[in-house]
Amino acid sequence: MGFPEDAYRQYRLAMRMIQLEARTSAVCAWTRFTEGRVRRLFRAYLRSANRPKLARHRGQSPRDASVFFRTPQLRAEAGGLAAYYSLLGLLPSDPSQRAARALPTVPRGETLCYAFELYTMTVKSPRISFEHAILLLTALARGEEIALQPCRRCSALIIIDRLSQLLDQCLYCNPSLAVVPTANEVSTGTAVRDHTSMPRQLALFEPAFGDGSSVSD
């Protein structure tokens, strides 16, 4: 009797997410595996020959979507990754809490991994970790804090802070947005105003501008 196809896809997704350095809780959520099984898979992965060394992140997964507006570079990369989500059909047509809760399935997990892998292959020195990629997808599906929409001037897909009216253009159309704080930054007093380089449309594929912050664990 062969290995059931559904179980095999669960296993393959779990191993793929482990290689992308997802936390145990995230792997469990998307595969429905138990924590014990995921930990055993991780140990088995480490014992395999010729495997690259992986970081094993502990603690809670990231939850604050305002991190994607920390620097112009992060916002640009998040917009690019979100565009992959849209092209691959990951984003619900009607964002809501219910839509976000329904996201974790094996087929969508496979597509999520594919989108993230495309992002890491097309962006020079990617700054968004896989865990933050999950946060980005979940926040967009929920639709309360951030959204994906066309730039008001050029129609390029960008992420916007739904609480701010100042981020409806991309950085190429309005470079002054490089120093515009988000609503969350204003309320918490953490606005970043020290960007020293002008953002350019091709910045994703060139040396980083701004402070070079990342949201990797």
Check: CB of residue 172 under 8 Å from CB of residue 154: yes
The packing angle between helices 5-19 and 24-31, to 10°, is 160
Bridge partners of 148?
A: 159
Report yes or no on 136 lying in a domain. Answer: yes
Q: Residues 23, 112: one domain?
A: no
pLDDT of residue 204: 44
Please list the ranges in the chain whose pLDDT falls under 70: 1-4, 47-59, 165-166, 177-213, 216-217
Residue found under tokens 């970043």 = 192
pLDDT of residue 198: 35
CA distance 25 to 62: 12
pLDDT of residue 197: 37
Check: CB of residue 63 under 8 Å from CB of residue 135: yes
* Domain membership of residue 43 as a residue range: 5-47
Report yes or no on 62 lying in a domain. Answer: no
Report yes or no on 215 lying in a domain. Answer: no
Q: Residues 125, 36: one domain?
A: no
Task: Read off the pLDDT of residues 162-201 as tens digits, 9 standing for 90 and up.
Answer: 877 667 888 788 777 665 455 555 455 554 433 333 333 3
Total number of domains constituting the chain: 2
Q: Residues 160, 189: one domain?
A: yes
Task: Read off the pLDDT of residues 85-99 as tens digits, 9 standing for 90 and up.
Answer: 999 999 999 999 999
Report yes or no on 213 lying in a domain. Answer: no
pLDDT of residue 56: 67
Q: Which residues of 135-160 are buried (b: 16+ CB within 10 A; e: fewer)?
A: bbbbbbbbbebbbbeebeeeebbbbb
